[in-house]
Amino acid sequence: MKLGFRFIQISVVLLFVTASAWAQSSDDLTSKYGTPFKAYEIRPGLMMTVRFAENGQASELRIERHAATDSKVYLDTTIPAYLSKEIVDELVPVAERGARGELSGLMLIVGGSGTSSDDYENVAITYYLSQSKECSGLVAIVIKWKNRALP
C-alpha cells in the first residue's frame, strides 16, 4: 500500500512540473510580460535598445553592456570612456544635437551611483555611473530626442 501511495505522489509532482513547463510558450510569456523587445549589438558585448516615436523615428536609445552574447561572456559591465564618446558621436553626431543647453554638464551623485547629463537643443544624453565593489564606471547611456514624442 505504501508503494502505491508513493507512486501517486511522484506522479502528481511530475504532472505539476510538466504542466508548468508547458505554460512557458511564447504566447504565454507574451500575455504575461508583454511583447519582447529587440536589441542591437552595436559593439561586442554592448547592446542598444530603441524606443520609437509615432512617426517611426528613434526617440530613445539605451546602450549598456550585456554580460553574455551569442559569442562571448563579458565580465566587465562598464563602458570605457573612449568608447562611450565614439558611440554617442556615431548615434547622434554633434551637428544634429543643436545648441548646448543650460543644464549641460549637470552631475548628480547619490550613494554609490550617479548620472551626468549633456543637454542640447534637440537631444538629452544621460550617462549612468556606478561606484561599487562589483562595478565601477559608466554602466549605461540614454539618448532622448526632445522633438520625437513616444506613443
Integer-rounded Cα Rg, in Å, for the chain is 23
Binned at pLDDT 50, 70 and 90, residue 13 comes out as very low
Give the per-residue pLDDT at 96. Answer: 93
> Is the confidence at residue 33, as pLDDT, over 80?
yes
pLDDT top residue among 114 and 7: 114
Average pLDDT value over all residues in the chain: 78
pLDDT top residue among 151 and 59: 59
Binned at pLDDT 50, 70 and 90, residue 15 comes out as very low
- Residue 56: phi and psi, rounded to 5, are 90, -5
Give the per-residue pLDDT at 134. Answer: 61
d(CA 114, CA 123): 20
Residue 122 · residue 147 · CB < 8 Å = yes
Give the per-residue pLDDT at 23. Answer: 55
Contacts of 77 (CB under 8 A, 6+ apart): 65, 67, 134, 135, 139
Edge-to-edge order in the sheet of strand 58-65 = 39-43, 46-52, 58-65, 136-145, 123-131, 113-119, 107-110
Among residues 148, 145, 135, the alpha carbon closest in space to that of 64 is found at: 135
Quote the distance between the C-alpha of residue 47 and its chain's center: 7
> DSSP of 27-88, one letter per residue?
HHHHHHH-SPP-EEEEETTEEEEEEE-TTSSEEEEEEEE-SB-SS-B-------HHHHHHHH
Give the per-residue pLDDT at 12. Answer: 45
- Residue 43: phi and psi, rounded to 5, are -150, 160
pLDDT in tens, 71-130: 565 566 788 888 999 999 999 999 999 999 887 776 777 777 888 899 999 999 999 888
